[in-house]
Amino acid sequence: MGMASSMGKQQTKSKTMVGFANKPMDKVRVGFIGVGARGSGHVEQMLVIDGVEVTAICDDWKDLAERSAEACVKAGRPKPAVYAKGPLDYRNMLQRNDIDIVIISTPWEIHCQMAVDTMNADKHAFIEVPAVGTLEECWKLVDTSEKTRKHCMMMENCCYGREELMVLNMCRLGVFGDLLHGEGAYIHDLRGQMNEVEHGTGSWRTVHYQKRNGNIYPTHGLGPVAQYMGVNRGDRFDYMTSMSSPSKVRTIYARDHFPKDHKWNKTPFICGDINTSLIKTVMGRTIMVQWDEQLPRPYNRLNLIQGTKGVFGGFPNRVVVEGESKSTDSWEQGDALKPWFEKYDHPLQRKIANDPSNKGGHGGMDFIMLWRIVYCLRNGIPLDQDVYDAAAWSAVSPLSEASVKKRGRSMDFPDFTRGHWNDREPLPIVT
């Protein structure tokens, strides 16, 4: 039996959050915890979305909090309240009664406690990726969301990329036939972050490579594939196996760029340079998930989905569909993809991508994600991603670490939905 079987909590007195929708909000009043490289961008984009009020900003670094507060003033908005008196000052912010949702863009290891505190303070929690790093934390999010009746969404922005939205649309239209296999990845050379020693993403992220060995950042490639397949909505992750390569490149980088007595050279790096995991779903589908944040190679999320009638792959985008492509022996890509986008672009992409207020962010996906969140909240409809997605997608990290330690032994996924995954329809194509 896999390690997760003992954590498959099936009984609860709380009501499921499957299909949950809050009452429509006339205004969405937002508080922010963490406005560094990621959170500051969220503030700027929220300022140009109709129906949003930025009421409070919290960050350990006062200069960053003030920078985002001033951005609000420059946009013609009232200056939000600033909380910058230490790592627990966010709890003072949560006591305010003029905040509906909280966007959490902080180091991974404090996501869970901040989200739990947010929901217990009667506010909806929106967390950067990955939502959490342990199975215990996954269950804490689920249990707290169900108990408080508050949204808890991991903001997987890659689900809102143009290609991912188009492929989702094609899957729902049956273009690829019955779905059989998917591939997702996060392949991104981030060695340069190691130069952020005292402050910034690298100051805390680098430590994870010294403590953990597995896929520690799985959701950018996995989230879209999970939505294509209807994971937690008619299917769910069943079990997975994982293997890591040796850990080499960060040790080399530390040796070549830092003094011998620097902390990056004092503690060994143990996280394999590339991790490959295989997931099996209850319906029998397979998903390959890869992670690599250090090897010298171009950025890639794979974004591949294979069905009985055809396949789409990303980086570069390419497609083959039996009956629509000239041949199944060669890819249609480059300029040959234009007719495919014209025919299958997702309605949400068509609606929002050219909005004059769209400030982009990762090719526009960030703005579409935030716009969609606000739209769902203001109209009282379920979010595209829920707490069960946050838990299942994030669970790949601890399960991969456990599998790597046990020579690739398969690990069972908990059923975070407590059986409700089979009661749901796949995510619809919204307009």
Q: 108, 128, 156: which is the final residue of a domain?
A: 156
Number of structural domains (the chain) is 2
Instruction: Decide: 279 and 286 in contact? Cβ < 8 Å.
Output: yes
Q: Are residues 183 and 142 in the same domain?
A: no
Max Cα distance, the chain (Å): 63
Q: Are residues 167 and 133 in the same domain?
A: no
> Is residue 380 in a domain?
no
The reply to whether the predicted model has a pTM over 0.85 is yes
The pLDDT of residue 2: 42
Cα–Cα dist 378/137, whole Å: 29
The pLDDT of residue 354: 72
Q: H-type helices in 53-161, by residue range?
A: 62-74, 89-93, 111-120, 135-148
Cα–Cα dist 268/250, whole Å: 9
> Is residue 74 in a domain?
yes
Q: Are residues 167 and 270 in the same domain?
A: yes
> Is residue 347 in a domain?
yes
> Is residue 16 in a domain?
no
DSSP 293: S
Cα–Cα dist 168/162, whole Å: 10
The pLDDT of residue 407: 98
The pLDDT of residue 356: 64
Cα–Cα dist 157/159, whole Å: 5
Give the range of the structural domain holding residue 133, as residue numbers without chain letter. 3-7+27-156
The pLDDT of residue 5: 40
List the end-to-end C-alpha distance of the chain, in Å, as a whole number: 43
22's tokens: 């809050």
CATH number of the domain where residue 308 is located: 3.30.360.10
Q: Are residues 181 and 129 in the same domain?
A: no
> Is residue 430 in a domain?
no
Q: Are residues 328 and 407 in the same domain?
A: yes
Q: Are residues 152 and 164 in the same domain?
A: no
The pLDDT of residue 6: 39
Q: Are residues 199 and 212 in the same domain?
A: yes
Cα–Cα dist 384/381, whole Å: 9
Q: Are residues 173 and 81 in the same domain?
A: no
Instruction: Work out whether strand 332-333 and strand 318-321 pair parallel, antiparallel, or are unpaired.
Output: antiparallel
DSSP 261: T
Q: 123, 156, 189: which is the final residue of a domain?
A: 156
Q: Are residues 70 and 101 in the same domain?
A: yes
* Order of all β-strands in the sheet with 304-307: 332-333, 318-321, 310-313, 304-307, 179-187, 286-292, 275-281, 237-244, 411-412
Number of neighbouring beta carbons within 10 Å of residue 316: 10
The pLDDT of residue 259: 98
The pLDDT of residue 339: 98
Q: 156, 182, 200: which is the final residue of a domain?
A: 156
> Is residue 378 in a domain?
no
The pLDDT of residue 9: 61
CATH number of the domain where residue 107 is located: 3.40.50.720
> Is residue 17 in a domain?
no
Residue 96 falls in which region: left (phi positive, over 0), alpha (psi -120 to 50) or beta: beta
Q: H-type helices in 279-330, by residue range?
A: none
Per-residue pLDDT of the chain (431 residues; tens, 9 = 90+): 344 443 456 566 789 999 999 999 999 999 999 999 999 999 999 999 999 999 999 999 999 999 999 999 999 999 999 999 999 999 999 999 999 999 999 999 999 999 999 999 999 999 999 999 999 999 999 999 999 999 999 999 999 999 999 999 999 999 999 999 999 999 999 999 999 999 999 999 999 999 999 999 999 999 999 999 999 999 999 999 999 999 999 999 999 999 999 999 999 999 999 999 999 999 999 999 999 999 999 999 999 999 999 999 999 999 999 999 999 999 999 999 999 999 999 999 998 877 766 666 566 899 999 999 999 999 999 999 999 999 999 999 999 999 999 999 999 999 999 999 999 999 998 77
Q: Are residues 124 and 168 in the same domain?
A: no
Cα–Cα dist 116/121, whole Å: 9
The pLDDT of residue 361: 59
Q: Are residues 247 and 296 in the same domain?
A: yes
Q: Are residues 124 and 185 in the same domain?
A: no
> Is residue 19 in a domain?
no
